[in-house]
Chain A
């Protein structure tokens, strides 16, 4: 019954620990190793203009969409002393900068950090309405009708129809009757808008999308326009230059529609420039930002939500259970004797700061000198607590003088001796000298060496970078450690050292 209970508990703990970790890896994209990095695009829009004197300045810039395939994980607005507001409507977001008075050249920046999503979500939405035929000017009507008729004859569906229209408009030597139309389009409308305008004549739902191709180190003076037509089930994107279908893989959509564009009130010589740069970022950071965007509570309550300083503390603290597990293995499975149960873990923590070899040397030095002084104090026949306090005082003095002497000798490692837990050292000296008196120096050295051995193994385990990362990113894995520890709590087999202890019995 008791065994079954324990077994169930262990299974439940493992399931929770591993399940949560698996969820974090697969859904949130948290990396299993610390070195994993991902490409992140830094996209910057730079607005410069000259402010007109004595007027207030208002600048509005359409902001990129969280479009399919890309996630904006961070945004940044830079504008000296400008008030900033972000407006959201059906067609997207717009940043509004405003300032009552400005002089000279003005610079505004918008920066976005964009990350390519692993899973591409498809766009859903209401099917658009069929547009009404625009009221074309008298002289263009026959030309447009002719153009649409030609396209209809050479096409099978909406997409090929649109491709025909685009090809006719972009032809190297356009038909003479189209020349006038093209001039009109080039003068008053942009090409994409023109295509839109003509397609409306055939009552084809179409829209313009604008965006950027993500290429490292590129600068663009304007967004690239594409035409999208609705084929009855979905929007299909077409290149307005050659009618090729399909957005390039690295195309990030900035805005849908052409209703909005950069506008500057109270300024002149305005200039907008986009630049794209690729950087590498820790996957952990990205996963964290994305989880926050998705509204995942798990990351909100993760250790990453703590201030960096506390994070560093927990990076170490979370390793302590592993050190304790090492102690469990060493004591209950191997049977190594140590001073105190978890003293080796504390020594291992101190070793983290001092490096292994120097840590061990300094530790032995201090404990050895401490034992000598303790032996001297013993002759004064002091009461227990004053004796402990005086040994503690001597340990502190020993640590300080070790640091000073080693510093003078140019051995900087001596400085790290201050990181040893002095109370732990005092207790170690006291217990070691008691063991020395009661069970002899051999036993005292055996237990002392055992403590250092377990501390060293604990240090080596706690210092595995991959393990540190794993435990910090997936603290729930400690539940698995807990489960293993619980199992060892019912381990009733022999300890390794008992095979030696009872060997006389095994021979019979």
Chain B
């Protein structure tokens, strides 16, 4: 056990306590949390800053407005319903189409309008928000993910999580939904995480259920060596999010749309640490290096290339 501890230290693995004490508490001002905890606010900020996000179709804020649902989605065959204050991908319903007046959930089930409205009502009552606060439901564009990912994801949108420290990307992974994760791109719900080499944009290792894996558990396709399209653009996009909300230690979730390219899905003020397992290496050394930097490049482009440089060097 003691050897494991030493090895982890040597590998530069960041634990929860260190993440909280040394990075989140020091670099993330509490007053800025609402900007990322409320996806509606994040989205509005991003739109104002010219950062690409999935189009917002409508917001349902009060119980009474649920009756407007058919109007909001009437022009869209597919859409996503998500709580503005949700966390961990909970409460997100992806509707991929309609069959006989029923909504087709991406997990394969068909929902009546009544059931979808009940779900929205649950969102409004705060079922998925932290502390059960009353919440809002966002109805937005469903990302049509790049067909490149088809072989390595199961019903759902793979997303790319990047940890951005002081505006500089530190580590990145792509999260691939599985049957187990019910189409959600959340590692502890059973999604596969694959580390990405920041310099090349290629997937390296993959982890599933805290264990290294070579192939996607559902499709059987090999995961590593997979090149993420628009990689440089994506890194710059992630770096830009630092200015957007001002949080020093930030998790940026980006999805790749077939037509629109990288879109920022959401930001996270307390991103998880499994990204290290997916990358097969700790990020302590890079975090410490950036922590010591007196000056951070002002432009997102420079920061993104610095990140690629650091990934190889440190």
Contacts and interface: CB of A to CB of B under 8 A. Distances in A.
Contacts of A168: none
A493 interface: yes
A503 interface: yes
Contacts of A502: 8, 13, 15, 276-277
Nearest to A507: B7
Interface stretch (A184-192, A214-222, A377-385): A377-385
A491 interface: yes
Given A384-B127, A491-B17, A492-B17, A504 B207 contact: yes
A248 to B, nearest CB: 65
B16 A498 contact: yes
B118 A499 contact: no
The A interface, classified by DSSP as helix, strand, loop or mixed, is helix
A489 B90 CA distance: 30
B271 to A, nearest CB: 16
B233 to A, nearest CB: 30
Contacts of A508: 11, 280-281
Nearest to B115: A381
B241 to A, nearest CB: 25
Interface in A433-448: 434, 438-440, 443
A439 B186 CA distance: 10
A495 interface: yes
B210 A504 contact: yes
B211 interface: yes
B11 A495 contact: no
Nearest to A502: B13
Contact of B13 (A385, A443, A491, A505): A505
Interface in A477-508: 489-495, 498-499, 501-508
B17 A494 contact: yes
B8 A499 contact: yes
B17 A495 contact: yes
- Best-buried of A438, A439, A443 by chain B (most CB within 10 Å): A438
Contacts of A381: 115, 118, 121
Contacts of A228: none
A501 B115 CA distance: 38
Nearest to B180: A440
Contacts of B210: 501, 504
Interface string B17-33: 11011100000000000
Interface string B271-286: 0000011001110000
A234 to B, nearest CB: 66
Contact of B125 (A384, A489, A495): A384
Contacts of B11: 505-506, 508
A502 B9 CA distance: 11
Nearest to B1: A499
Contacts of A434: 127
B156 interface: no
A498 B281 CA distance: 15
B62 to A, nearest CB: 13
Given A384-B126, A499-B1, A492 B15 contact: yes
A332 B15 CA distance: 10
B61 to A, nearest CB: 16
Contact of B21 (A383, A492, A494, A498): A492
B132 interface: yes
B147 interface: no
A505 B127 contact: no
Contacts of B90: 438
B188 A494 contact: no
A494 B16 CA distance: 7
B232 interface: no
Given A384-B127, A439-B189, A506 B4 contact: yes
Given A381-B118, A490-B21, A492-B21, A498 B15 contact: yes
Nearest to B7: A506
Contacts of B21: 489-492
B211 A504 contact: yes
A490 B18 CA distance: 9
Nearest to A506: B7
A503 B276 CA distance: 11
B215 interface: no
A499 B4 contact: yes
Nearest to A388: B132
A498 B277 CA distance: 11
Nearest to A498: B15
Interface in B104-155: 115, 118, 121-122, 125-127, 132
B277 A504 contact: yes
B212 interface: yes
B99 interface: no
Contacts of A503: 4
Contacts of B7: 505-507
Given A384-B122, A385-B125, A505-B11, A493 B17 contact: yes
Contacts of A504: 207, 210-212, 277, 280
B5 interface: yes
Interface string A120-144: 0000000000000000000000000
Nearest to B205: A504
B261 to A, nearest CB: 31
Interface string A32-68: 0000000000000000000000000000000000000
B270 to A, nearest CB: 15
A498 B5 CA distance: 9
A505 B17 contact: no
Contact of B132 (A332, A384, A440): A384
A505 B16 contact: no
Contacts of A443: 188
Contacts of B118: 381
A438 B7 CA distance: 34
Contacts of A332: 17
- Best-buried of A434, A439, A501 by chain B (most CB within 10 Å): A501
Contacts of A501: 210, 277
- 4 shortest A-B CB distances, which residue pairs? A384-B125, A506-B7, A492-B18, A494-B15
Given A384-B125, A492-B17, A493-B18, 11 more contacts: A335-B16, A381-B118, A384-B132, A489-B21, A491-B17, A492-B21, A499-B1, A502-B277, A504-B277, A505-B280, A508-B280
26 contacts: A332-B17, A335-B16, A384-B122, A384-B125, A384-B126, A384-B127, A385-B125, A438-B88, A439-B188, A489-B21, A490-B21, A493-B15, A493-B17, A494-B13, A495-B15, A495-B16, A499-B1, A499-B8, A504-B210, A504-B211, A505-B8, A505-B280, A505-B281, A506-B3, A506-B8, A506-B13
Interface of A: 332, 335, 381, 383-385, 434, 438-440, 443, 489-495, 498-499, 501-508
